[in-house]
Amino acid sequence: MTLRPRIGVVVEWLPPLVVFALVVGLWEGLVRALHVQQFLLPKPSTIISVFWTQRHVLWPAGWYTFKEALGGFAIGSGAGVVAATVVGRFRTAGQALMPIFIAANAVPIIAFAPIFGAWFNPIQPQSKMAIAAVLCFLPVMVNTLRGLQSARPRQVELMRSYAASELEIWRRVRVPTALPFLFTALKVASVLSMIGAIVGEYFGGAMNALGVTINTDAQIFQFDAAWAGILVASLLGIALYSAVVVAERLVVRWSPEARVS
Amino acid sequence: MSNAAAVVRSPPARRRRASVVGGLARAGLVALVAAALVGFWELYHWVWVSTGWTWPFVVNDTSMPHVWTIYHAFGQPAQVNQPALINVLLHKTAFTAKEAAAGFGLGALIGFALAVVLAQVRLLQRGFLPYIVGSQTVPILAIAPMVVLWVNPRLPGSLQGWGAVAVIATYLTFFPVTINTLRGLQSADPRALELMRTYAASRWAVLWKLRVPASLPYLFSALRLAATASVVGAIIGELPTGLQDGLGGAIINFNQYYSIEPQELWATNVIAAALGIAFFVIVVLAEKAIVRRAPEETA
């Protein structure tokens, strides 16, 4: 009984670790064996060493961009939940507005990044927060609305037969049904917010922002530094994603979905 | 016999008539929504300008050009001695659409194949799934220049330039397809699985007769996401390559003149938005054609 969980942890973690070691080893070995030019694909060992030597530049830059992403994530997801709650309350409004949101969801919003730069000063973090917020808003809004509307009619009828108020039904049936949908969207949004902040910085941003740093390094062919910056961006993105996953496991304990991914 | 056939045939006919009416209603709704958006845009512009509000941003003819200014920009050449902007943009759209379509096709194929392999071999799934999820946290724009520099010289001449951008579109496409197809393949009814097993069905038969049909709705919801993602990938991929033939190049170009002629960037973005929506609509129509036929095949 005491051994069981430990074996489970090993079984869960061993395959990813083996794959990681294999991929990094193969990368390092192939770059060395085939003499791939340093500027095209640096060795993992080089990236790590640059990652360490430039940590005083990379981490503050990463933190700056992370704050933009976090702000956009909070604003966009918050607005998405509020909008879905309002729209979900009025059925006809929801049905009329749904096609707009679906169409808006199909728009490549990243293409509007330069316009956000023109609206807000591109040097100010607000412009990146705005683009990240718009990117987060749509999936959160659409998924939350779908979640609020996917409560089983029988459950709602049962609540009604107990003379439960609409608020009570909302709190005890609709919100719990919507939560797994919401967290799925938040996971998507966490990744999008980081991408939005970095892509936004490509069109101009503060000098100490991560997107600008990566872009400048890539333009002057310092690809080891650019890859080190990408590593920072990925680590921060994974951190935000993991935070959402942890929150999901804490909040949505009853759903089997939460345990799968 | 013929009577029965007529009875069977009449509901689809009625359904078709209903779908025509529904289509007209939907077209009307789209027109209404477009008119409402234009009205809202101009109203916002008017209110903010006349009250002098500057929150969240300063509204003027540069930050929010009038709808008719943007509309007129389509008919005028962006530079002297050039065809009208709309012609230039349509050419660029065709180029970006080619990149996006190639990336979409390749990404969907790779994503589906990967999902089938991962669903069959649990060990691989455990090993690779965390990295497939992690791969999406890599800001694609950041690696795009390196991907382009690396891929471009290895491509045959006819693929040079746009082929590398298609690779980036592929990268953005494969992920939702893999994740959703995997979930779909695993969503097959356990009772049906057991039935297949009692018939001693081979793994292959279980896969094609049961798991793949079960995954189709999941696959299509992923393809709808991927349709937009492939357009995003094509536009983003063009940014660092310096390719001037597509919409991404046009966005970078017009962005530099935004303070003088904002309507051109807006016009380009309107076209980019339309391209994304067009990709989405094509996938939705394909889904309707394919998934509606599915129940007949199983019945």
Helices marked H in chain A — which ranges?
Answer: 3-34, 44-53, 55-89, 91-105, 113-119, 125-149, 153-161, 166-169, 175-202, 210-219, 223-251, 256-260
Q: What is the mean pLDDT of residues B81-90?
A: 88
Q: Prior bond to B295 cis, omega within 30?
A: no
Nearest to B63 among A18, A119, A219 (CB): A119
* pLDDT value at B297 more than 60: no
Please, what is the angle between helix B85-120 and helix B162-185, to 10°?
40
- What was the pLDDT predicted at B110? 95
| Total beta-carbon pairs less than 8 A apart between chain A and chain B | 142
pLDDT digits (tens, 9 = 90+) for B110-156: 999 999 999 988 888 888 888 887 777 777 766 777 777 777 777 77
Amino acid, single-letter form, for residue B236: I
Instruction: Look at residue B11 and tell me whether its pLDDT is greater than 70.
Output: no
Beta carbons of B272 and A111 less than 8 Å apart: yes
Q: Residue A178 is part of which domain span?
A: 53-260
The CATH number for A112's domain is 1.10.3720.10
How far apart CA B254 and CA A227 sit, in angstroms, is 29
The segments of chain A whose pLDDT lies below 50 read 1-2, 257-261
Structure-token pair, residue A239 = 């951190």
CA distance B228 to chain A (A): 5
Dist CA A133 CA A73 (whole Å): 6
CATH numeric code, B85-298? 1.10.3720.10
- Compute φ and ψ for A2, nearest 5 degrees: -75, -25
CA B195/CA A85 separation, integer angstroms: 43
- d(Cα A98, Cα A92) in Å, to the nearest integer? 10
Residue type, A39: F
Query: Rounded CA gap, A206 and A213, in Å?
Result: 9
Residue B3 CB-half CA count within 13 A? 0
Show Cβ contacts of residue A138 under 8 Å, excluding neighbours closer than 6 positions. Answer: A80, A101, A104, A105, A109
- Give me the phi and psi of B81, to 5 degrees please: 60, 30
A102 in any annotated domain:
yes
Does residue A40 lie within any of the structural domains? no
Give a yes or no: residue A33 inside a domain. no
Residue B76, both tokens: 């005028």
Q: At what angle do helices A91-105 and A125-149 cross, to 10 degrees?
A: 130
In this prediction, residue A4 carries a pLDDT of 55
Nearest CA in chain A to B135: A234
Tell which residue, B117, B119, B123, has the closest CA to residue B193: B119
- Cβ atoms B289, B223 nearer than 8 A: no
Contact A140, A103 (CB under 8 A): no
Separation CA A137–CA A197 (nearest Å):
14
CB contact under 8 A, A40 and B258: no
Average pLDDT, chain B: 84
Cβ-Cβ contacts under 8 Å, A114 against chain B: 251, 255, 258, 265
**Cα A114 to Cα A202: distance, rounded to the nearest angstrom:** 9
- Return all residues near A139 (Cβ < 8 A) that are at least 6 apart: A80, A105, A185, A188, A189, A192
Amino acid at A45: S
Distance in angstroms (rounded) separating the CA atoms of residues B47 and A62: 39
Tokens 């079984």: give the residue. A11
CB B42 within 8 A of CB B66: yes
- Give me the residue from B29, B63, B277 closest to A107, CB to CB: B277
Query: B63 and A229 in contact by Cβ < 8 A?
Result: no
Alpha-carbon distance A211 to A226, whole Å? 10
B214-233 residues touching A, CB cutoff 8 A: 224, 227-228, 231-232
pLDDT at B6 over 50: no
Higher per-residue confidence, A40 vs B191 = B191
Q: What percent of chain B has pLDDT over 90?
A: 28
Q: Which helix (H) or strand (E) holds A90?
A: none
Contact A16 B126 (CB under 8 A): yes
Within 10 Å of residue B230's Cβ, how many Cβ atoms? 33
For residue B101, is pLDDT > 80? yes
Nearest residue to A88 via CA among A181, A24, A11, A1: A181
In a domain, A250, yes or no: yes
Q: Which residue has the tokens 């013929």?
A: B2
pLDDT, average across residues B9-17: 61
| DSSP element (H, E) containing B95 | helix B85-120
A17 - beta bridge partners?
Answer: none
Residue A16 maps to a domain:
no
Question: Which residue from A minimizes the CA distance to B64?
Answer: A119
Does residue B68 have a pLDDT over 50? yes
Give per-residue pLDDT as tens, B228-245: 999 998 998 888 777 788
Task: Point out the residue among A105, A111, A203 whose CB comes nearest to the CB of B235.
Answer: A111
Q: Do A119 and B139 touch (CB under 8 A)?
A: no
Residue of A22, A101, A110 to mutate when probing chain B, most B C-beta within 10 A: A110
Confidence class of residue B4 from pLDDT cuts 50, 70 and 90?
very low
Q: Please check whether residue A204 lies inside any domain of the structure.
A: yes
Q: Determine, yes or no, domain membership for A38.
A: no
Instruction: Judge whether A17 lies within some domain.
Output: no
Tally of domains in chain A? 1
Classify residue B116 as left (phi > 0), alpha (psi -120 to 50) or beta: alpha
Side chain identity, residue B205 = A
Question: Per residue in B253-296, pLDDT tens?
Answer: 888 888 888 999 999 999 999 999 999 999 999 988 887 655 44
For the range B154-161, what are the long-range contacts, defined as Cβ-Cβ under 8 Å and sequence gap of 24 or more? B161/B241, B161/B243, B161/B245
Enumerate the domain spans of chain B. 1-64, 85-298
d(CA B56, CA A36) in angstroms, rounded, equals: 49
| CA–CA gap between residue A38 and residue A46 (Å, rounded) | 9
Q: Do A16 and B133 touch (CB under 8 A)?
A: no
Cβ distance B277 to A112 less than 8 Å, yes or no, reads no
- CA-to-CA distance for A258 and A235, rounded, in angstroms? 22
CA B136 vs CA A67, A75, A136, B250: distances in Å: 19, 22, 15, 26
* Nearest CB neighbour to B142, from listed A105, A112, A229: A229
- pLDDT value of position B257: 86
**Locus of tokens 């081979």:** B202
